[in-house]
């Protein structure tokens, strides 16, 4: 039976889950995968944690050099996170011709082009299923399941923390600050929640997934990003009343040479498959030209769901003699013919505060009309609702599909009119 030795760099939540999964399933993998995978070394600054996990002293490496020099280590698992130390260690492992399996989305998003070149030069593999959407096998699906399709659209709830917060705000009417506090108490959100709530985590994942789905590098710098920290629970409630559920979506659309990639809070109809993905669950919804709609659902974070993805790469690398790299030219920039669309098309939900005086509504609808924004529904709310001051009334407008720049132009003109202030702009996907 083939013997494969692994080393784990960073034995925290994900690395620890990976260690336990590899040890507890050792015999199972021998039986089902015909491969004998043994943990040969671990590296972590927190030696007490390693000892508390019952890891034998002789497996605890002193430094990366010891792991690189260990002839029994074939595969190096990187579960450190961040880009500084992780990049240095992954580079060293690849240069020593050791295949790397990583769960590190920021590293892959920013440096996959560099790291893949080093891997190719040294005839070893670089695998990163766990970098996106934890235990949901989305990268494997893109590479091995739907690769026969032209994927024209991908929409994902790829961040559990924000999905938990939005679910709380939707179901309990909780405001953002309270829902965030609860997410922190449950250990979903970090003490500094910026990366999650401002959509940065989702942006990194979308960069990796859309590069794979659309077969060209999609740098994260090309992704439009808006987080959820400004969302008012009243908009969620009102949107809900008129048929929409709010989700933080990572959206990728591809048509011809045009690519439209963005992360933002989005209203989707209640009957959309993603609308029922609640709490900290994640899901990715794909549309391919042959298969039609496909949706994958599961846990996007946590020790064992993420370990499941790491181990899946380890088994893949251990049982395939041919190395596999990206299906696109993995450079820092996309190929020159690719056009990024900033002026995409969407429907919109707008909330305004308007002056409560004769003719105001006519002037406001006139501004929208002149900017090419066509109204589907308009609803004036009682004074005082949404915290409008005593002279102003809230006005909710939904629009037909229109260009992003037309809406931006209309918002600027409405704000400059002296009659209204635009308080919320939320894109609607159907
Ligand atoms: N912080 C992420 C989330 C998990 O909340 O989904 C790791 O990417």
Listed in order, the ranges of the chain carrying CATH 3.40.50.720 are: 2-131
Specify the ligand 1 atom closest to the Cα of 162: 5
Specify the ligand 1 atom closest to the Cα of 306: 7
205 catalytic per annotation: yes
Cα first-last separation, the chain: 51
Distance 302 CA to ligand 1 centre (A): 8
Specify the ligand 1 atom closest to the Cα of 282: 6
Listed in order, the ranges of the chain carrying CATH 3.30.360.10 are: 139-299
Distance 251 CA to ligand 1 centre (A): 17
Per-residue model confidence as pLDDT tens for the chain (430 residues): 999 999 999 999 999 999 999 999 999 999 999 999 999 999 999 999 999 999 999 999 999 999 999 999 999 999 999 999 999 999 999 999 999 999 999 999 999 999 999 999 999 999 999 999 999 999 999 999 999 999 999 999 999 999 999 999 999 999 999 999 999 999 999 999 999 999 999 999 999 999 999 999 999 999 999 999 999 999 999 999 999 999 999 999 998 899 999 999 999 999 999 999 999 999 999 999 999 999 999 999 999 999 999 999 999 999 999 999 999 999 999 999 999 999 999 999 999 999 988 999 999 999 999 999 999 999 998 887 777 677 789 999 999 999 999 999 999 999 999 999 999 999 999 8
Architecture of domain 2-131: 3-Layer(aba) Sandwich (3.40)
Phi, psi of 164 (to 5 degrees): -65, -45
Specify the ligand 1 atom closest to the Cα of 164: 5
Catalytic residue among 98, 110, 205, 253: 205
C-beta 196 within 6 A of ligand 1: yes
> Is domain 345-428 in CATH 3.30.70.260, yes or no?
yes
Listed in order, the ranges of the chain carrying CATH 3.30.70.260 are: 345-428
Q: Ligand 1, atom 7: nearest CA belongs to which residue?
A: 301
Question: 121: part of which helix (H) or strand (E)?
Answer: helix 105-121
Instruction: Quote the CA–CA distance of 146 and 140 in Å, as a whole number.
Output: 9
CATH topology of domain 139-299: Dihydrodipicolinate Reductase; domain 2 (3.30.360)
Distance 368 CA to ligand 1 centre (A): 38
CA distances from 430 to 241, 244, 258, 406 (A): 16, 10, 20, 19
Return the C-alpha torsion angle 13, 17, 19, 21, nearest 10.
180
Burial 311-334 (b: 16+ CB within 10 A, else e): bbbbbbbbeeeeeeebebebeeeb
C-beta 202 within 6 A of ligand 1: no
Q: Ligand 1, atom 4: nearest CA belongs to which residue?
A: 301
Q: Ligand 1, atom 2: nearest CA belongs to which residue?
A: 159
């Amino acid at each position: 039976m083939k013997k494969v030795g692994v080393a784990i760099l960073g034995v925290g939540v994900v690395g620890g889950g990976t260690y336990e999964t590899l040890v507890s399933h050792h015999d199972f993998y021998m039986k089902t995968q015909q491969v004998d995978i043994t943990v040969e070394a671990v590296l972590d600054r927190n030696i007490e944690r390693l000892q508390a996990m019952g890891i034998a002293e002789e497996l605890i490496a002193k430094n990366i050099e010891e792991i690189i020099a260990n002839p029994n280590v074939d595969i190096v698992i990187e579960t450190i996170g961040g880009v500084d130390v992780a990049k240095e260690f992954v580079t060293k492992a690849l240069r020593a011709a050791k295949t790397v399996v990583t769960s590190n989305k920021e590293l892959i998003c920013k440096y996959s082009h560099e790291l893949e070149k080093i891997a190719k030069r040294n005839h070893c593999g670089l695998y990163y299923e766990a970098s996106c959407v934890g235990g949901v096998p989305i990268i494997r699906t893109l590479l091995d399941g739907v690769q026969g399709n032209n994927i024209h659209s991908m929409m994902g709830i790829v961040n559990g923390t924000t999905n938990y917060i939005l679910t709380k705000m939707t179901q309990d009417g909780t405001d953002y600050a309270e829902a965030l506090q609860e997410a922190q108490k449950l250990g979903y959100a970090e003490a500094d929640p910026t990366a999650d709530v401002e959509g940065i985590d989702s942006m990194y994942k979308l960069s990796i997934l859309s590069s794979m789905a659309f077969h060209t590098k999609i740098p994260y710098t090309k992704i439009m990003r808006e987080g959820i920290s400004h969302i008012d629970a009243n908009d969620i409630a009102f949107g809900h009343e008129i048929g929409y559920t709010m989700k933080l979506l990572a959206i990728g659309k591809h048509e011809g040479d045009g690519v439209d990639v963005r992360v933002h809070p989005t209203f989707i109809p209640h009957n959309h498959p993603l609308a029922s993905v609640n709490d900290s669950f994640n899901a990715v919804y794909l549309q391919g030209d042959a298969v039609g709609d496909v949706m994958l659902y599961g846990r996007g974070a946590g020790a064992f769901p993420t370990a499941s993805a790491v181990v899946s790469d380890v088994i893949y690398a251990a049982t395939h003699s041919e190395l596999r790299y990206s299906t696109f030219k993995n450079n820092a920039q996309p190929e020159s013919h690719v056009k990024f669309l900033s002026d995409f098309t969407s429907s919109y939900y707008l909330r305004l505060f308007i002056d409560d005086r004769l003719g105001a509504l006519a002037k406001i609808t006139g501004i929208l009309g002149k900017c090419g924004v066509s109204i589907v529904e308009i609803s004036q709310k009682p004074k005082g609702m949404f915290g409008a001051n005593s002279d102003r009334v809230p006005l909710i407008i939904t629009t037909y599909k229109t260009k992003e720049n037309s809406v931006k132009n209309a918002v600027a003109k409405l704000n400059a009119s002296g009659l209204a202030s635009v308080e919320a702009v939320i894109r609607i996907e159907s």
